[in-house]
Amino acid sequence: MRTSRRHTAVAGTALLAAVTLGGCSLLGDGSPEPGASSTRSAQGPKAEPAWDVSPRSMAAVGDSITRGFDACSVLSDCPEASWATGSDKEVRSLAVRLLGTGAAEHSWNYARSGARMADLPAQLDRAAAHRPELVTVMAGANDACRDSTAAMTPVEDFRAQFSAALHRLREDLPRTQVYVASVPDLKRLWSQGRTNPLGKQIWKLGICPSMLADADDLAPKATERRATVLDRVVAYNKALREVCAEDKRCRFDQNAVFDYPFGTGQLSPWDWFHPGKNGQSRLAEIAYRGITAKDPEVRAAP
């Protein structure tokens, strides 16, 4: 199944000026007005924009970050605080920013805490039932957050899983837009969260042990372990960018989430690792800027 359609190039600045600000397709049937030059009709069908900056419905897939895990209470999902589809006024989720009063009726969250990239196809199948105009993807942290670095998902498996998931979505929804958020910098989250004694106690319950285990251990072996996790996350983001680039209706966030300088003010007050409400709001802002940008190469960091 092809992941994109070829679009007929539109020549001439006159036609470019007719594109609406909201990213809608050109108006009219292409016929020249009475008395007008026949040059316009010779240009062929109008080109449809590859990206609509004003989708009218959306679905979110991914892991605990998109479920708002630990944003409201300890070791619990809080979907109302999700950056993607939440209703919390403090967060101002992407759905609220894009859809306004229609957010609750036209957005769906199928992310699951603990999900890895291999779980993406099942989530996308559920999302596809609503035929959303936009799907957001934030997955990969749990592929790196394993019991050990040896248990992390191999990069080629990660790439193949994401590619297969995207192709599968295209079988049902060839025109739906996909926005892909980068995997966060897990090492930065460790460096920020380790300043809080309570957070480190929560980490011992099994949160991202490949990065967070023995949080205060700065010996060479522990330092190398964390560097290995970071390198894997960087490789995952490269795979996400490259696979997404093969689909004209897919946008990667250009590592905006990975590069965002999350500090203690953006972390959960319960585990000091997942985003709190402030962090969720920052994620929503990054996504909104990335989705509504006319140039997909523009960095979306707030």
**pLDDT single digits (tens) 210-243:** 999 999 999 999 999 999 999 999 999 999 999 9
Measured between alpha carbons, how far is 277 from 261 in angstroms, rounded to an integer?
Answer: 15
Where is average pLDDT lowest: 35-49, 67-81, 120-134? 35-49
Owning domain of residue 123: 58-292
Q: Within this chain, do residues 271 and 183 fall inside the same structural domain, yes or no?
A: yes
Say what the pTM is: 0.83
Residues 6+ apart with CB under 8 A from 35: none
Measured between alpha carbons, how far is 118 from 124 in angstroms, rounded to an integer?
Answer: 11
- pLDDT of amino acid 7: 41
Using the predicted structure, report yes or no on whether residue 188 has a pLDDT greater than 50.
yes
Q: Is residue 162 part of a domain?
A: yes
Return the structure tokens found at 15: 């036609």
| Domain boundary residue, one of 31, 49, 67 | 49
Measured between alpha carbons, how far is 26 from 78 in angstroms, rounded to an integer?
Answer: 41
Q: What is the CATH number of the domain that holds 230?
A: 3.40.50.1110
Q: 234: exposed, middle or buried (C-beta count within 10 Å: 0-12, 13-18, 19+)?
A: middle
Confidence tier at 294 by pLDDT (50, 70, 90): confident
Confidence tier at 43 by pLDDT (50, 70, 90): low
Q: Within this chain, do residues 35 and 162 fall inside the same structural domain, yes or no?
A: no
Share of residues in the chain with pLDDT > 90 (%): 80
Using the predicted structure, report yes or no on whether residue 97 has a pLDDT greater than 50.
yes
Structural domains counted in the chain: 2
Q: Within this chain, do residues 73 and 221 fall inside the same structural domain, yes or no?
A: yes
Q: Please, what is the average pLDDT of the chain?
A: 87
Q: Within this chain, do residues 41 and 174 fall inside the same structural domain, yes or no?
A: no
Q: List, as one string, the DSSP characters of 64-127.
A: TTTTTTTSSSTT---GGG-TTT---TTT--HHHHHHGGGTTTSEEE---TT--GGGHHHHHHHH
Helical ranges in the chain per DSSP H: 13-16, 94-99, 120-128, 141-144, 155-172, 186-193, 197-203, 209-212, 220-245, 256-259, 277-292
Q: Within this chain, do residues 9 and 143 fall inside the same structural domain, yes or no?
A: no
Using the predicted structure, report yes or no on whether residue 95 has a pLDDT greater than 90.
yes
Q: 21: exposed, middle or buried (C-beta count within 10 Å: 0-12, 13-18, 19+)?
A: exposed
Amino acid at residue number 71: A
Q: Within this chain, do residues 275 and 211 fall inside the same structural domain, yes or no?
A: yes
Q: Within this chain, do residues 10 and 91 fall inside the same structural domain, yes or no?
A: no
